[in-house]
A and B are shown apart, each in its own frame.
Chain A
Amino acid sequence: MKLVKKNSLLIGGIILFIFGIFADPAFLTLFNIQNLLRTSSILGTLAIGVTIVMLIKEIDLSVGSLMAFTIILAIELAARMEAVFGVVAIQGGHYMIHGTGLLIFFTLLIGLLIGLLNGILVTKLKINSLITTLGVLYAARALAYIISGGHSIYLTKMKQFLWLGNGNILGFPTSFFIFLIVGGITAFFLKYTIVGRRIYAIGGNEKAAIFAGINTNAWKMGIFAVSGFCAALAALMYSSYLASADPQQAIGYELSAITIVVLGGTTLEGGIGKVYNTLIAALIIGVLNNIMELVGLRIWYQQVIMGCIIIAAVMPRYLYKKRI
């Protein structure tokens, strides 16, 4: 019985998976499973970043907007840099044809820097992370519109880049491997190294951590930077998968990320949570989304269900705590 309780998340996921098999014949096809893994990996990578942030009792609402902002700014920068060398990177104003390496580099760099900016605002200016990341959420989204001129850039002609989101290794999607690697590294760091111990210490009791001599400001800045980095990585996977960079992409993804993190057992109170659970939760949400799509449930109903899930996931955890 104890084994069931301990792995209730995993068991729930398996049940959901079985339900999916019966829900639609197309569920158990290789094509569908691969796509399922791809979408789970994108959301899951986002969720890993948010998990670490929530472990130190902060929140990062900007990840969804960053998924659009980072890659759009990166495209612009890559195009400009290439123009310096006389290479035309964007054809006809809409098709990117050159510069995969630069694109990836810039996207990740921008994600890291914006995350760092979040961290600086939270630690140095002491602004509540809710407000900071809410402000960045809106500002980054709007900047994405402005920089892109309101239209999408199509990446269909960049074969190397498309492999990231569409390719397979040994039958499993590339993005799934990236997700597992990022998750694995994070889980390893959290459990077996001093990085993890510091993070749980800051999240558990920040004042105590400060008095223990931990440089909480530096750690926080780093963690927000990691979150930004994960958002950038997710942006690359997403845009590669859809072969386009659109200023309107990933709207609302921050909510899905938080749903996954919360479903995986990490709470806003900090100091509690395992990345392993986040990974499973990501797959669960991915399966759920997949089933809802296959069954033909309209996006509005999906929204309502996702919202209810997050409430249902959070409620039992907090009810157990006799808070005054």
Chain B
Amino acid sequence: MEQVMVIQGNEACVRGAIAAGCRFFAGYPITPASEIAELMAEMLPRHGGVFMQMEDEIASICAVLGAAWGGAKACTATSGPGFSLMQEGFSYAVSSETPCVVINVQRGGPSTGQPTSPSQQDIYQAKYGAHGDYEVIALAPASSQEAFDLTVKAFNLAEKYRVPVFVMSDEVVGHTREKVRIPQNLYVRPRQKPSLPPGQYVPFRAGPNGLLDGMPAFNQGYKLLVEGQLHDETGNRAGTVVDASAKLVTRLCSKILKHDGDLLDVDGRFLDDEPEVVVVAYGSPVRPAMQAVRQARAAGIKAGCLKMRIVWPFPDEEIAKVAATARRIVVPEMNVGKIVREVDRAAHGRAEVIPLPKLGGALHTPAEILAAIEGGYVRASAS
């Protein structure tokens, strides 16, 4: 039966994770993500899962990696400083193709920054924060409902693509209580078993799409070697072999970039009449952006909105399509203007791309976005 509840985004993430099969959570308290750990501690035991509060965020991501190879779908949640500490673990997860989900309830930075205020300042860090060449998947919920939906999706994508998948929430989404519908029939991708028995199975041999054939757990007879050093298909080190090393890094990136369409998740609103002005947004700013677009249309301005639910990999083609017809693209972000650079790159000069940064720990108001739609360039309270 469909369930309807009024919950905050952080709780929606927990319910989404458990619904998606998460049975291990390791974390460390941090504002504004702590409710996720608290609820996991309460709910996981009731679902046959284990919660661990570790000694720090480094240990948290490492325990998640161990649990993943232990056979569980595993997850952690944190915010800015903790996200920084976890970066080496993300890089390890990429190299060793360990599925895991990381929820970052973003707060303002740099450093300790603004623990109780929202930001989107970590959106580059999700893609570029760790060392080495790699690609990951990052989703950005704008509501409690999306916090639930995208957390489920994050687990499904982690299982398929065998990468860390980031749910880039923020303090607004995390702490806003609103209605969430939990559907009766939820698509949950189970952990895929290897198609071959031990002895015949080659753990890191990829198919033509660059994806691996199932994921055995430890102590199932496969005698796995899980390696962070660049390795061959067996898992054995190949860091000094140029061809094998290049082949692995190329595949780790291309399996994400050349996805089969399920890593494109954008939602166009009012785009059918080729609007002159399009607001491109992700996460919380989608909310005032939609309001501003409605107000603009009521005032006779042809405006539309393109909302990105998956930010990484970046939806280049969708941006290019919008840029082909729009005169102006406005990009509201709760940071100095980050994704706007990607939008500008993908627009390739075909539309004027206007950054609308908002700093200080507050969400844009619809009026600020409306003003940018109307043509006046508004620098929000950054100065």
A in complex with B: no
Binding site for B on A (CB under 8 A): none
